[in-house]
Amino acid sequence: MKNTDDLSFDREHIWHPYSSVVHPPCIHEVVSADGVRLTLNDGRKIIDGMSSWWSAIHGYNHPRINQAAKAQIDQMSHVMFGGLTHPPAVDLARKLIDITAEPLQKVFFADSGSIAVEVAIKMAIQYWFAQGKQEKQRLLTVRNGYHGDTFGTMSVCDPDNGMHTFFNKVLPKQFFAPSPNCINDEDWSDDNIAEFREIISEHHHEIAAVVLEPIVQNAGGMRFYCPEYLRQVRALCDQYDVLLILDEIATNFGRTGRLFAYEHADICPDILCLGKSLTAGYMTLAATMCTQKVANGIAADGSGALMHGPTFMANPLACRVASESIALLLESDWQQNVKAIEQQFIDELMPYQSDKLVKDVRVMGAIGLVELHEPVDQYMDWLPTFIVEQGVWLRPFRNLIYITPPFIISSEDLTQLTTAVGTILKRLSL
């Protein structure tokens, strides 16, 4: 009875992401999780193909991360970061500086991915303000991007095809170039960067920073693009004295086959945003890193105080968990695991390209997706339950069915996920 009451109460009172309380979404109650499986309130176990929105790279209930969290709780779960510091924050900052590009030497700990990007935007604007160039307050990005749900980040999400069109009249007006369309460096054409170059050339005097998701655009359409585009953007930012912010909230810590997606292009941003799998899905934590140039530039007016300070900034429990997750990742054969996932996606998802419902199939690292011609929104009253009946958890959105599994997934479990995609296509075609 309690489980039934929980679901009823949830439907009546709890607001879920991107949903209406008038027409609440179809939901399932999870009571525990272990490895790659979620256990529902009726005892069924389903394979999580989402890594809880890209984050649970080691799966669930990992004994090493659990032990690190328990040990930290016994010491302190939280202490304010204003005027104080603590070993978990110092240890995590050291790790992040060690594994990212050498120029990235400063770490600001934030609450979430959206806030990490928000802080990056503040850094860029304060940098130019301190240089006496107050006119450089706008941002340049590309269409089909997604950077978060706060007001600053919403302003650099796609204004027409994004999730925030309701707010367009109150958001800061930014510059938008066309989305990158280059799939491989071998197909590179100067036309791919022409409009971007034109915008930055004409408006660089008022542009503080370029904001991009490197190599993979995520919630804005799950689009992949070639490394040469990033190289060209980096060169243009240098040429026109504009900062480069890379939003790696989703792509960081191995998801694309490299530890960080910017490594595909062998460049370094001025500001880097990290999140999601930073704590392996255990807790909310993000980080905004920047170069010494940016940090010193913000201080050029004699103050240097970055005007942001969350209450739970650098939470010791989250920092300890993040450090353990990074150590666990680096000690593992994660590159081979991701490569194996990628190859299995190629073998098992690519055949769906011939399905009449399918527009495209794309694979990169531990990301596999099937793009449909039509959105699945109209089926969401029954589709989530149908997916669970296949023994898996996937969450299609718009016209995309995608899989971002934990790196520890077995080939058998991954096959169950890719087979479920085919079953969904058959059901949708009825």
Residue 1 has pLDDT above 60, yes or no: no
Residue 418 is encoded by which pair of tokens? Answer: 């890719």
Phi, psi of 393 (to 5 degrees): -125, 115
pLDDT of residue 24: 85
Q: Model confidence over 251-309: pLDDT tens digits? A: 999 999 999 999 999 999 999 999 999 999 999 999 999 999 999 999 987 777 898 99
Residues 105 and 41 in one domain: no
Do 17 and 139 have their domain in common?
no
Higher pLDDT, 25 or 114: 114
Q: 302 with 352, same domain?
A: no
Q: For the segment 184-214, what is each residue's pLDDT rounded down to a tens digit?
A: 999 899 999 999 999 999 999 999 999 999 9
Residue 377 belongs to some domain of the structure: yes
Write out the residue range of the structural domain in which residue 349 sits: 2-61+333-428
Nearest partner of 418 among 383, 392, 398, 386, judged by Cα: 392
Residues 47 and 158 in one domain: no
pLDDT in tens, 367-388: 999 999 999 988 988 999 999 9
Contact 26, 382 (CB under 8 A): yes
Do residue 197 and residue 287 come from a single domain? yes
The answer to whether residue 252 is domain-embedded is yes
* Residue-level pLDDT at 2: 57
Give the HSE-up count for residue 132: Cα atoms under 13 Å, Cβ half-sphere.
1
Residue finishing a domain among 267, 300, 331: 331
Are residues 170 and 204 both part of a single domain? yes
Residue 394 maps to a domain: yes
Structure tokens at 364: 């990169």
Q: What is the mean pLDDT of residues 30-56?
A: 97
Mean pLDDT of all residues belonging to the chain: 95
Closest CA to 85 of 316, 323, 290: 316
User: Does one domain contain both 126 and 235?
Assistant: yes
Q: What is the mean pLDDT of residues 1-6?
A: 68
In this prediction, residues 324-332 reach a mean pLDDT of 98
pLDDT tens digits for 329-354?
A: 999 999 999 999 999 999 999 999 99
CA distance 246 to 96: 15
Reduced 3-state DSSP string for the chain: CHHHHHHHHHHHHCCCCCCCCCCCCCCCCEEEEEECEEEECCCCEEEECCHHHHCCCCCECCHHHHHHHHHHHHHCCCCCCCCCCCHHHHHHHHHHHHHCCCCEEEEEEECCHHHHHHHHHHHHHHHHHHCCCCCCCEEEEECCCCCCCCHHHHCCCCCCCCCCHHHCCCCCCCEEECCCCCCCHHHCCCHHHHHHHHHHHHHHHHEEEEEECCCEECCCCCEECCHHHHHHHHHHHHHCCCEEEEECCCCCCCCCCCCCHHHHCCCCCCEEEECHHHHCCCCCCEEEEEEHHHHHHHHHHCCCCCCCCCCCCCCHHHHHHHHHHHHHHHHCCHHHHHHHHHHHHHHHHHHHHHCCCEEEEEEECCEEEEEECCCCHHHCCCHHHHHHHCCEECCCECCEEEECCCCCCCHHHHHHHHHHHHHHHHHHCC
Same domain, 322 and 382: no
pLDDT of residue 301: 77
Which pLDDT band holds residue 162 (cuts at 50, 70, 90)? Answer: confident
| pLDDT bucket at 161, cuts 50 / 70 / 90 | confident
Residue positions annotated with a catalytic role: 18, 146, 247, 276
Q: In terms of domains, do 250 and 306 share one?
A: yes
Closest listed residue to residue 206, CA positions, set 323, 128, 275: 128
**Does the residue 70 lie in any domain?**
no
Which CATH number belongs to the domain containing residue 29 in this structure? 3.90.1150.10
Indicate which CATH number applies to the domain containing 117: 3.40.640.10
Instruction: Classify residue 68: in a domain, yes or no.
Output: no
Tokens of 378: 């109209």
Has this prediction a pTM greater than 0.85?
yes
Instruction: Count up the domains in the chain and report the number.
Output: 2
Please identify, among 331, 357, 386, the residue that sits at the C-terminal boundary of a domain.
331
Residue ending a domain, among 280, 313, 331, is 331
Q: Look at the alpha carbons of 277, 151, 178, 190 in this order and tell me if their dihedral is positive or negative.
A: negative
Question: Residues 91, 191: one domain?
Answer: yes
- Same domain for 185 and 318, yes or no, is yes
- Which region holds residue 18: left if phi is over 0, alpha if psi is between -120 and 50, else beta? left
Asked if 164 contacts 205 with a C-beta cutoff of 8 angstroms, the reply is: no
